[in-house]
Amino acid sequence: MNLMKRAVDLCKSGDIHYGHGSFLSHAIDDWAFKISGLYEPQKPLKEEVEPIYNELIQIIAEGWSLRPGWDFIGELMEELGGSGHLSYFQTPESLSKLLSSLNQPSVADGKTIIDQYEPCSGCGAITLSSIVDTYEREGFMGVARLDLHLEELDYTKTKASVIQIINLLKLLNENGIPLVVKGLTILQIDVINRKSVGLNYSFQGDPSVLIALESNSKKLQSSAA
């Protein structure tokens, strides 16, 4: 199955109930609240679109499982673009990987910290690549040193980045334990005049989860020995 084509078809089916180019925005608004517990959707989903909504989430999740770090929602927005607030040009995956590779760690108080700042972040494509690259190089401990800061003006894209980053950390798990980052801040802000225009997500890595990841790693090393 062509997952992107199916996702596009589902969104167009949802648009019948919301108007052209609107269903995906409502779906993201609802999904971001369910995954983060923050910022209730502006409007509840219509009951008649729930089957479409549920299948869309399954399709996107399947895409992520095939390609961890895929900016699926960003690509979906681009496929649906050309009208209204959904007009969008996604950062190509090859460019996202290149830009994330330029990110260098810094040392503060003897501790290595990897600061990732992504202005005009869209749906978080560069940050997604940075998480995957760090995990492939340094494992879960490398990811735990990431301090991520994203800024985006658009309401829907801000929420989309929350969905994609949290789901990626769950997907890149260690024996079922989701990964954690040092910090994750996602702001809805005008990057030109620095005025906040709404959403402000701020998450800190849970130390207990990191302890569980370290314990799991030691058990695996012991078993291998």
pLDDT computed for residue 51 by the predictor: 98
Indicate the angle between helix axes 3-18 and 72-79, nearest 10 degrees: 60
Query: Do 81 and 97 belong together in one domain?
Result: no
* Residue predicted with more confidence, 163 or 91: 163
Q: Is 144 helix (H, G, I), strand (E, B) or coil?
A: helix
> What are the residues facing 190 on neighbouring strands?
195
Query: Do 208 and 109 belong together in one domain?
Result: yes
Most confident of 109-113, 151-155, 207-211: 151-155
Last residue of a domain, one of 86, 101, 124: 86
For residue 108, CA distances in Å to 64, 114, 115, 120, 182 come to 34, 10, 11, 27, 14
The mean of the pLDDT values for the chain is 86
Expressed as residue numbers, the domain containing 56 is: 3-86
Copy the structure tokens of residue 162.
């929350």
Q: pLDDT tens-digit profile of 43-83?
A: 999 999 999 999 999 999 999 999 999 999 999 998 887 44
**Rounded to 5 degrees, what angle do the CA atoms 71, 127, 163 make?**
55
Query: Do 19 and 64 belong together in one domain?
Result: yes
Copy the structure tokens of residue 172.
């890149």
pTM: 0.85
**Number of independent structural domains in the chain:** 2
pLDDT computed for residue 86 by the predictor: 47
Selection from 219, 195, 215, 197 nearest residue 207 by Cα: 215
